[in-house]
Structure 1
Amino acid sequence: MTITLLGSHDGVELIRHELKRYGLMGFNPPVDQDYFEAIFLVKGILRVTWNTRTEHLRPGSLVTMAPVRGPVCIIAMDEVEFLYITSTSIFDSYKHWVNHFHRLATEIAEKDGDTASHCERIRKYSVLIGCELNLSAKELLSLSCGALFHDIGKTRIPDEILRKPGRLTPEEFDIMKMHTIYGRDMMNSPEHPFLHVGSVVAEQHHERYDGSGYPHGLKQDEISLPAAIVAVVDSYDAMTSHRPYQLPKSKREAIDEIRAFRGQLYDPRVVDAFLKVVDIFEKD
């Protein structure tokens, strides 16, 4: 995401945004404030969800929201450029946290011996499934944030366990499983005030539909839908990626395995949506 402050006056700001395909921005205004927000699309296709509404904007479209009483989620369905007008001064803090999120995502990926592209793939593919399932703005923000930082807790796992090339011992695996709890706590901490929305995804993304996952052995509807989405996408990405302990499967093999465990390991709703959009993963 690229953001540029074009002008400001008396608390009103005009901010130019450029988002790559499937990029996302969102905000959750305080309930005691009457903010005015407006979006004017210059280029591309933009999906905007707020309250119970979803609109697809095309160049020249204008959408206004006043007052903003709940979460708003904006997703680029193509490369987009838009103007964002807000009645509150947010640009400086907004830019700071955007840069902070990118640095943090890179740190997490490098800790795991991967690249930042892994975290971004998980986020992007998860958001596509979330759109297919028509999630609310709040759920989409939880999904996007949680997917990007689902493995933040691994930064607290010792390197000798995290990067071990062979199979972990039961004791080592018990330590590894703690990354879900660490991730929840880190995302809920004051140190990361804008990550709390995704903490449930960090905690639950290794839970499984039949109750065989961890850390709590949750099953079916006990698992949040955003976490269930990341569970499928993270499994698919792990299957198709080079790892120290396994050779990658082909994309078709990975898809077949996800389908085979529909209703066992993975939420059937998520698998069905995954199968509808997975070809976009391969083409993008």
Structure 2
Amino acid sequence: MNIVKKNPLNKLLMKNMELSLLASGDGTEVILHKLYAGARWAMAPADDWTALEHLTVMSGRLLMTSSAGEVVLGRGDSVNACPVKEHMIFTAETEVEFLYVTSQPQFHFYSNSVKDMMDLAIRVEEKDGYTSNHCDRIKELSMKLGKVMGMDSDELYIMNLAGFLHDVGKVKVPDEILKKPGKLTNEEYDIIKMHTVWGREILTETNNPDLIKAGEIVEQHHERFDGKGYPHQLNGGGIRTEAAIITVVDAFDAMTTDRVYRKGMTHDEAFEELARNKGTMFHPDVIDAFFSILKES
């Protein structure tokens, strides 16, 4: 019998989640997850991955979204697949603890890759002068819009990644340009615009299939419905819906956030600006979905 006391070397504390490797052996791992209310976690298919994956809820309520719809899991409920064939997204409705068992080891790769991506997003927020919750706000509101617009669990999973990492390319923009309080020169603005391309490159270089897909959305999140955006001047239906969603959410958050060089707008002022640019800068269907959420809240 092995008696396991929590080992700080095997525990990872992140912004909305804690992971603890409780046991491992013969390729099998038992990982305790603690999700704070509102946090998300997912099971996702992967090439050359044939593991049994099993989840049992220990406490709290966990909303599972899959191709079959949504179901709330409570204490004692479990989910398993061998292998996972579709994205399953789990959202903590309350603080949740669950045991995750996998027949192929992945804890260190999994925890380190998640931590690396979170650290990168935080670096972008700090570099760009945003509050530490900017990436989370973009991710959360993008997911709400995606659900309203009928996206399936696979699409929502990728957009969750893209929303959180939408500005990752800004780590390559020089500080003196990114934080310049005055008007940018044309040359400086051209450098700023490269952050969408650099973001896709950074995510592609991970060789993670899901991050590569997210990178395609990241590259398009400054395209405009009328074709006057960047980097490729795409228009209308040529722009991924996920990217069009992030465009609206990111614009709203940017307008209402205080920056070092200006005070943020009120929500009402930002709503007026979004409505004024419906069909030009912003996809009209996304604006309609955005306002439908506001009416419900």
CA 1:16 to 1:277, structure 2 compared with 1: closer, same or farther past 3 Å?
A: farther
Q: Are 2:100 and 1:80 aligned? A: no
Q: Deviations over 1:196-245 (max 9, x none)?
A: 23101221111112212111111122111211111111001001001244
Greater CA drift, 12-21 or 207-216: 12-21
Q: Which stretch shifts more, 10-19 or 205-214?
A: 10-19
Match 1:199 to one of 209, 215, 221? 215
SS in 1 for 2:133: helix
Question: Pairwise mapping of residues 1-284 of structure 1 onto structure 2 (< 5 A)?
Answer: 1-50=17-66, 52-60=67-75, 61-190=77-206, 195-278=211-294
Deviations 1:23-47 (A, max 9, x none): 2223433344433222223344323
Measured after TM superposition, the shift of residue 69 of structure 1 is 2.1
Alignment partners' CA distance in 2, 1:212 and 1:229: 17
Q: Which amino acid aligns with 1:199?
A: G
Identity %: 39
For structure 1, which segment, 17-26 or 191-200, has the greater mean C-alpha deviation from structure 2 after superposition? 191-200
Amino acid across the alignment from 1:221: G
SS at match of 2:201: helix
The one-letter amino acid paired with 2:164 is L
Q: How far apart are residue 193 of structure 1 and its match? A: 7.5
* Secondary structure of the structure 2 residue equivalent to 1:116: coil
How much is the aligned-residue C-alpha RMSD, in angstroms?
2.4
SS of the aligned residue for 2:98 comes to strand
Alpha-carbon distance in 1 for matches of 2:24, 2:295: 43
Q: 2:9 is matched with which residue?
A: none
Does the CA-based 8 Å contact 2:43-2:84 persist in structure 1? no
CA distance in 1, matches of 2:225, 2:136: 25
Q: What 5-or-longer segments of structure 2 have no aligned partner?
A: 1-16
Aligned to 1:262, the other structure's residue is in SS state coil
SS at match of 1:263: coil
CA contact (8 A) 1:166 1:244 kept: no
Amino acid in structure 2 at the alignment position of 1:261: N
- Residues in 2 aligned to 1:202 and 1:72: alpha-carbon distance in whole angstroms: 22
What is the distance in 1 between the residues matched to 2:163 and 2:204?
15
Question: Quick check: 193-202 or 118-127, which moved more?
Answer: 193-202
Deviates more, 1:6-15 or 1:223-232: 6-15
SS at match of 2:290: helix
Normalised to the residue count of structure 2, the TM-score between the two structures is 0.84
Kept in 2: contact 1:31–1:70 (CA 8 A): no
**Deviation for aligned residue 1:162:** 0.7
**CA distance change for structure 1 residues 9 and 44 in 2, over 3 Å: closer, same or farther?**
same
Compare 85-94 and 192-201 and name the one that shifted more.
192-201
Aligned residue pair count: 280
Secondary structure of residue in 1 paired with 2:166: coil
Judged with a 3 Å threshold, the aligned counterparts in structure 2 of structure 1 residues 210 and 44 are, in CA distance, closer, same or farther, namely farther
TM-score by length of 1: 0.88
Mapped to 2, the partners of 1:253 and 1:155 lie a distance apart of 30
The CA deviation at 1:73 is 2.5
Offset at 1:194? Answer: 6.2
